[in-house]
A and B are shown apart, each in its own frame.
Chain A
Amino acid sequence: MEVKDIKIKGISYDEFKDNDSLEKYVEELRANGVGIITGVLDDIINWGRSNSLWPLTFATSCCGIEFMAVGAARYDFARFGFEVTRNSPRQADVIIVAGTIVDKMAPVLKRLYDQMAEPKYVIAMGSCAISGGPFCNSYCVVNGVDEFLPVDVYVPGCPPKPEALLYGMMQLQRKVKMERFMFKDKEVKENE
């Protein structure tokens, strides 16, 4: 599937920013071609996965309040099926790192991430999670969670507006939709 074919209800392809990096990503994924059956299976599975991204309730500071606001009546991320926030990392699909991560919290966050079941995604919400934000010069603030977590989507802002987070989550949906799920490991091995 090409990036262009991925439909997100309500937003057209051109309205999305950063289509280039997604396209590059797709090219890498499709380098070996796609099997017909596995391709179709992939599409079905990805449809399911992308529409059912359950976030972990995780928030450390200010951005967490905006995360709560996204769940509340006005923004309502239930529309996308994200509202089943799980308190146990084992059952969550995406961790939204909302807020500053400091040295003492970093091992905890790492552990939470490790406890999540595959396939799992990370959204870095807010400048703190992206780069340390206003606190980047501090003696004990981690300058971006990508130092130790594979971040899928960055949502900038301090704090990002709820709309921005929703947009970020839609970007994640697009990313999920393009992924290879079936026989992923086997092909990776062959490539090596």
Chain B
Amino acid sequence: MFDFSIWTNWIDQFLRTNLPEFWALAIEFVVVGVIILALYCIIALALIYFERKICAFFQCRLGPNRVGPYGIFQSVADMLKMLIKEIIPINHTDKFLFYLAPFFVLIASILAFGAIPWGNGLQILDFNIGIFYILSVSSLGVIGILLAGWASNNKYSMIGAMRSGAQLISYELSAGLALMTIVVLSGSMQLSTMIEGQKDCWYLFQGHIPAVIAFIIYLIAGHAETNRGPFDLPEAESELAAGYHTEYSGLQFGFFYLAEYLNMFIIASIAATVFLGGWMPFHVTGLDGFNAVMDYIPSVIWFFGKVVFLMMLSLWVRWTFPRLRIDHLLDLEWKYLLPINMVNLLVMVIVVIYGWYF
């Protein structure tokens, strides 16, 4: 497996030998920041295009096909337009919070984005509490949504924000507990260690029944956290016009729009990392030839393959189901997912203590 840390270390060494430490670090910060932002933007645009095509496919349509071959530049055109669109100053809003909200949402997702391991040796932040960090920063986004709803001084936005708050608080629990189940299995919260632990067998298979249950719960809860259908209550197009971002225009709306897609990506990549081994290829103990072949596929491709697969699932659900009603949404979480999750965690602990895993 090619280790990208060879490159990164070499660059680091090179900078440090030629420059004083302060400047070397400064340059690295800037480079890393630019890379994150660029990736963020590219992935979001790709995702938007991807979703529009997939959705068209589900609906017997063609989807964008005018701009560039197969319409691949469609989202670039959208972005250009968004950039120059007027940002309407609105009276009777809480100006400061109103302008702050989109940044909050965006920054929360960028923070989480930074901690994702892309490939072997390609990870920007690697704490010993990586999972914990991702969970906490990604849930910051809801504050942005609440602020947006509150500051807009619009009744639709307000209702949307309140729904979003209720939804996020509930589903955060399930998502956290589902990940906790795997943390119990792996014995570590550090993402790199977790991936290393899946060298022979992904946690999904290692932990068999409890891990599969946790995986499914995480997918549901994660999907709910991204505020996408059938859990798109905060936006609820047919009920609340555009929900919490009703009053936002131009680039501010663009931020919400991008963050929505990026959150989907983040959720999918966490699921891929924790349950499906992240960039770790598919290995079967004993079949060395097979494993060697698998190792030839670059780690980045493994990672993206898994993420795309999970996102396909998410899109499939999104374009099939109608929207839940708020009380059903809360019922689902508090009456079903959470109790199941608790029991599941316990089962996992027992499994680990007795060593009944692969």
A71 to chain B, nearest CB (A): 9
A62-91 interface with B by 8 A CB criterion = 72-73, 76, 78-81, 83-84, 86-88, 90-91
Q: How large is the interface on A (under 10, 10 to 19, 20 to 34, 35 or more residues)?
A: 20 to 34
> B245 to chain A: which residues have CB within 8 Å?
88, 91
* A118→B66 CA distance, assembly (Å): 24
Determine if A90 and B246 form an interchain contact, defined as CB atoms under 8 angstroms apart: yes
A47 vs B76: C-alpha distance when bound (angstroms): 10
Task: Indicate whether A48 sits within 8 Å of B246 (C-beta atoms), given known contacts A73-B60, A87-B237.
Answer: no
In the complex, what residues of A have CB within 8 A of residue B237's CB?
87
Pair B80/A45 contact, Cβ less than 8 Å? yes
Cβ 8 A contact of B78, one of A45, A81, A90, A181: A81
Bound form: Cα–Cα A81–B78 in Å: 8
Contacts of B249 in A (CB 8 A): 90-91, 117
Interface centre among B52, B71, B81 (most CB of A within 10 A): B81
A81 pairs with B84, CB closer than 8 A: no
Knowing A73-B59, A87-B237, A90-B247, the reply to whether A80 touches B66 (Cβ < 8 A) is: yes
**Interface assignment of A108: CB less than 8 Å from any CB of chain B:** no
Q: A73-B60, A81-B74 are in contact. Are A88 and B247 (CB under 8 A)?
A: yes
Interface size class of B (residues with CB under 8 A): 35 or more
Q: How far is the CA of A44 from the CA of B80 in the complex (A)?
A: 8
Q: Give CA–CA (A118, B76) in the complex, Å.
A: 19
Residues of A with C-beta under 8 A to B74: 51-52, 81
B260 CB, nearest partner CB in chain A, Å: 13
The reply to whether B67 and A51 contact each other, CB–CB distance below 8 Å, is yes
Q: Is the CB of A51 within 8 A of B247?
A: no
Identify the closest chain A residue to B87 (Cβ): A117
Which residues on B are within 8 Å of A, measured CB to CB? 52, 56, 59-67, 71, 73-74, 76-82, 84-88, 237, 241-242, 245-250, 253
**5 extra interchain contacts, Cβ-Cβ under 8 A, other than A93-B81, A118-B85?**
A47-B77, A73-B61, A76-B63, A91-B245, A118-B86
